[in-house]
Amino acid sequence: MASHPHSGDPVFDLHVGGKMETVSTVALTGPDELSLAYTPGVARVCEAIAADPSMTRHYTWVPNTVAIVTDGTAVLGLGDIGPAAAMPVMEGKSVLFKQFGGVDAVPICLDTTDVEEIIETVVRLAPSFGGINLEDISAPRCFEIEARLKERLDIPVFHDDQHGTAVVALAALTNALRLTGRDAATVRVVVQGAGAAGVAVARILLEAGVRDVAVLDRKGVLHSSRSDLTEVKAALARDTADRTGRSGSLADVMAGADVYIGVSGGQVPEEVVASMADDAIIFGLANPTPEVHPDLAHKYARVVATGRSDFPNQINNVLAFPGIFRGAFDVHASAITEGMKVAAATALAELVVDDLREDLVIPSPFDTRVPGAVREAVAAAARADGVARA
């Protein structure tokens, strides 16, 4: 291997030259193949697509290819590091799409943080792709970008930091409720963090029948008597704490709560953790430092999950996004619906029901059953929700 500035470091050695390449699916060994793959043969396919654009799904790679779009403003736990520094993560995401979903992906790192410019750029790129995976775009801009792209495009648009996290968290929570004998309709949930992941987690819990959710940002519980809420937070407040009358600080709503889901990066004092209900469920999802360290969580909780790979019950988005796009692409879905997300979560949860225990409420990313189970559930939900086109 040629030397490079960090030669000898296995992480940098692995990244030399990037983590992906484009590979031809056809042989070009002589003039006959060349005339079929390129001119003159290719012109016939172009004319067929010009006459009927739906032919794209049969004769190009477009319907199996997703654009992974970022502006580099919220990359992993690194924050706003810019589009160039985001590329290794987007390459990694592309490899995960291929490995776990058989989906081709192209990383696209945009040199703008302007909402209008991002939207217009993605709309103009859209004919080249079967779906758009928004990635590592900071809140609250990510909410408007996703919502407006969904309005303008007839292909799936999915912000993985929101919905991938939400799907896997719901799957794990479904099984944690099973283990602890709780019911979604009566369980009390606290979600700390009202960024992209926190909002999506709260929304999918409501979709799944949870009625008592308190969502907190740095200033406390989201409720409508606060005058400092963004439009997204205000809408969430109306659907969560306003319905139950909850308000105040984290300590106020954690007392007696059944479930804590942390997507904030903050730290929860031990006395607050200790105030939760018996047989509590604690998901501290911040990386690399969970809001509640598993050692502390286990003192008070029956089921503990993190975002880390070195503890049981990892809430890992790779369990969701490859299969979700694969299922959506299989039926040429025009969108990814709430029903498709819940179906993905249900499929994930069902995979470990027979082996369910405190340290196994969610399958491993390397469980070979995962992509197929999510794919089938999402495709079926797309048909049920009326967004399938094949």
| Separation in Å, CA 142 to CA 69, 101, 389 | 11, 24, 27
> If you ran DSSP here, which 8-state letter would residue 126 be given?
G
Structure tokens at 89: 């993560």
Q: What is the rounded average pLDDT for all residues in the chain?
A: 95
Annotated catalytic residue: which of 19, 38, 59, 300?
38
For the record, the structure tokens of 294 come out as 């598993």
Instruction: Return the pLDDT at 2.
Output: 60
Question: Is pLDDT at 374 greater than 90 in this prediction?
Answer: yes
Extract the tokens encoding 220.
């406390």
Q: Which residue has the tokens 């018996």?
A: 278
Q: Identify the CA nearest to 130 among candidates 381, 326, 380, 377.
A: 326
The overall pTM is greater than 0.85 = yes
CA angle 109, 115, 121 (to 5 degrees): 50
Tens-place pLDDT, residues 170-185 = 999 999 999 999 999 9
pLDDT at 356: 97
Q: d(Cα 164, Cα 161) in Å, to the nearest integer?
A: 6
Contacts of 111 (CB under 8 A, 6+ apart): 83
Could you read off the pLDDT of 136-152 as tens digits, one per residue?
Answer: 999 999 999 999 999 99
Position 1 pLDDT exceeds 80: no
Confidence class for position 248, pLDDT limits 50, 70, 90: very high
Helix-strand-coil split of the chain, %, nearest 5 = 50, 15, 40
Total residue count of the chain as it appears in this document = 390
The β-bridge partners of 65 are 104
In angstroms, the CA 122 to CA 272 distance is 44
| Residue 59 annotated among the catalytic residues of the structure | no
**pLDDT-based confidence at 3, cuts 50/70/90?**
confident
**In 221-320, alpha helices (H):** 231-239, 241-244, 250-254, 270-274, 294-300
- Residues 85-105: what's their mean pLDDT? 96
- The active-site residue out of 93, 150, 233, 341 is 93
- Lateral strand order in the sheet of 131-134: 104-109, 65-70, 131-134, 157-159
Q: How far apart are the first and last CA of the chain?
A: 47
Asked about 19 being catalytic, the answer comes back as no
